[in-house]
Structure 1
Amino acid sequence: MSNFDILTPVLPESVADATVVVWHKKVGDNIKRDDILVEIETDKVVLEVPAMSDGILDSILEPEGATVTSKQLLGKMSELAVSGGVTRATTQVSEKTPSDRHSASLTTNTKSSDTVSPAIRRLLAENDLDVSQIKGSGVGGRITREDVEKVLSSENELSNNQENADVKPLTPFNHIGDRDEKRVPMTRLRKRIAERLLEVKNSTAMLTTFNEVDMQPIMTLRKTYGEKFEKQHGARLGFMSFYIKAIVEALKRFPEINASIDGDDIVYHNYFDISIAVSTPRGLVTPVLRNCDKLSMAEIEKQIKLLAEKGRNGKLTVEDLTGGNFTLTNGGVFGSLMSTPIINPPQSAILGMHAIKERPVAINGEVVIRPMMYLALSYDHRLIDGKESVSFLVAIKDLLEDPTRLLLEI
């Protein structure tokens, strides 16, 4: 018998262990190569464990909810071998083909032909039933159709009960009068988010400064060139590419905001990897858009769309989430008018963009209605002084209000 092990994937150095989230297969299931057997959740991503070949799932050693480490044994499979043109499982349980079962049943039924009619023999063969296990209720102990159907009904009920026993019961509700509460375990990602939020609060001197930007120039530009841009590049001209371009230019002018603290040292980064906050069904994650200073606006839009899709589908990898020198979060897509975003450690700053709302503003001594957006920069005051933070935010504002400067880099 040829068996092989189902192992936890190799976890990154920064990840000590993981949790078994769900087994997609049950013991005894036939498995095809590349079928997803089990999902493993780390504090960053969900890892899928595929089958390496066709086979049958023999055992599950680590059930759902178990904590596992890198390369730990999760279960075992028996490999399928091809013999005589028929694929058979190399397990200790012999499997019969439909024709084998039919022949065997006919042979067994022939031994008791006096109590089994041809029609009943055919019904027994079709359902792989043993005549010796059925008690006939007809005249002279003859087996009737009702006797067979009774056995089939009993077997189906037993099978359903077994399947229901394999399914984990839902967490019961606590009834408090006419109100209910439900207690569910916190996911590993949610635990890690909570830990990082507390870490930021306790280990940084975080402040937030605000400004506002007139989005009319960018909205006019998008309206004028958006359709042509999409036809030429195959990507929609969104706001994010303008934001990223403005951030990169501002970071070049204020390198402290692109730096981080490591012990007693300040690490200045000569590259521009921007983390993009993405909301997923599992929680907020921050995949990284790398080398943003070398990307065109079309490339930025395409990569952001790709990362967002991977986040929604649970396909982000550890590499997608590793690194980043500065974070951009856009709460405006959910309607947020203003917020104080929390720094993503070990970074030193995060920029929050918000909903664009028409408001009356004074321009050249006149009150006009313009599409305005609030900006919020949260920063670590241990590294970044107030002057640099305010000047950085003003630079973002100026670049967005005159997007031509983004192209000229002035």
Structure 2
Amino acid sequence: MSVVLSADLSLGLLVLAGGRSSRMGQDKAGLPWQGGTLLSSLLCRSLAVPFSEIIISANRPPDLRALPSSLQERIRITADRFTDCGPLGGMEAGLCAGSCDWYLVLSTDLPFYDFSPLSDWCAMLHTTPPAKLPQVILPVVNGTEEPLAALYSRRILPAVQKALRTRDYRVRHIYAACPIRRVESSGHALIYMNVNTPSAYKDARARAVNLKRRVPVVTIAAGQSHAGKTTCIVTLIRELTRRGCTVGYIKSTHHTELAEKAGSDTWRAIQAGAAAVRLCGPPGTLNFHKKSQQLLALAQTLPVDIAFIESRRHGVFPILEVCRRGYDRLPEPDPHIVAVINDDIPSDSLSLRHFKTVQIDALVSYIIFLTQESPSHFF
């Protein structure tokens, strides 16, 4: 994808990377992503657009080592002049440092942003009479404004500075003083997904890794026996099949032969609508030393849209942990677990996504988000 701009349009990119990242607990700009960081990946994707200048608003030197040297040379870094004022302070610093007429302002934590809206937005600017030009083109996703992925005229700078001087730090509050063009963008909701929390970052990583697999995979695991893994998977298979997905099921086991007798786990999966069912035997077969590698390789051979893996200890990322009824302890910390399915653990005690067993619609929507190229809105 590339964006063609008119020669008379002065357009810059302003990336806000100076936040405290308090909900994440660490600097979001430096989180690993696609062989670099969230920030460097976003900047590399920006090469699809011939920006006149690229400015990073950051209060500490960002790590740009993953960038091509030619791109590094184009980047200017500026620090907030109004400190501890949130994104508005970063916008003010960038707009003061820059010289373009318009800036695409992006937060650094947009792992799937692809710059595709710019073509339509730039065309809108060219076809709007000067007297009716907005100062902000603001995407709206499922009723929510996205001010940190919007196009701003540099003419908003006085309104930004006035808000900062009066300690009114909400970006949305400057809109009352500026002509705004709101643009419905719900059809492209994914590119506006940000990662403010460790849970959201895990979600994004899970989706990104599944997009690279021929068959996307989700593991349903449990730290205790009789937790309800199979019941959960059977319910998901039935509902996803009803929605038109072709679903596969892999049972991690010490057996080597498929057991299709009535009542077995594989039989239940078939009855629920599974299009392909496999057993994955002991590790060491198929030239794989780890059971997780063996499970993933087997999943990639299935003629399905989604593959569920049921495993006690050898799951493939992303893993949803099922806790049996009456079990009110948190699962052991595991970077591969993205969500917990349980009725008894208080939701406010979890740093992970949490689903109750009756929340089938929400759980299925989450599975689709993790596995499908064009998911329904979830996040």
The TM-score normalised by the length of structure 2 is 0.23
Structure richer in strand, relative to its length = 1
The TM-score normalised by the length of structure 1 is 0.22
Larger Rg: 1
